[in-house]
Amino acid sequence: MSSTTIKSTEEIVSCSDNGQHPLVYINLKNGSGQCQYCGQKFIRISQTESSKKAA
Ligand SMILES: [Zn+2]
């Protein structure tokens, strides 16, 4: 139901849709991801460029 894209600085985010589905982890190494259960979209943002490996 949610159309909000969640931004995270983590490579791995978790989603359970407030307990509506089993807890799953979504890998954002490619920059974005989507929960296979509820369709929640996540994007990865880089907060600290200095600590990030050069792509
Ligand atoms: Zn979900």
Residue 31 CA to ligand 1 centre (angstroms): 17
Our count of domains for the chain comes to: 1
Q: Say if 38 falls within a structural domain.
A: yes
Domain range for 14: 6-48
5-31 burial, b at 16+ Cβ within 10 Å, e below that, comes to eeebeeeebebebeeeeeeeebebeee
Residue 17 CA to ligand 1 centre (angstroms): 5
Q: What is the CATH number of the domain that holds 23?
A: 2.60.260
Q: Say if 20 falls within a structural domain.
A: yes
Residue 8 CA to ligand 1 centre (angstroms): 15
Q: Say if 10 falls within a structural domain.
A: yes
Over residues 12-52, the pLDDT tens digits come to 999 999 999 999 999 999 999 999 999 999 999 987 655 55
What is the pTM (predicted TM-score) of this model? 0.76
- Is 70 exceeded by the pLDDT of residue 55? no
Residue 40 CA to ligand 1 centre (angstroms): 5
Residue 18 CA to ligand 1 centre (angstroms): 8
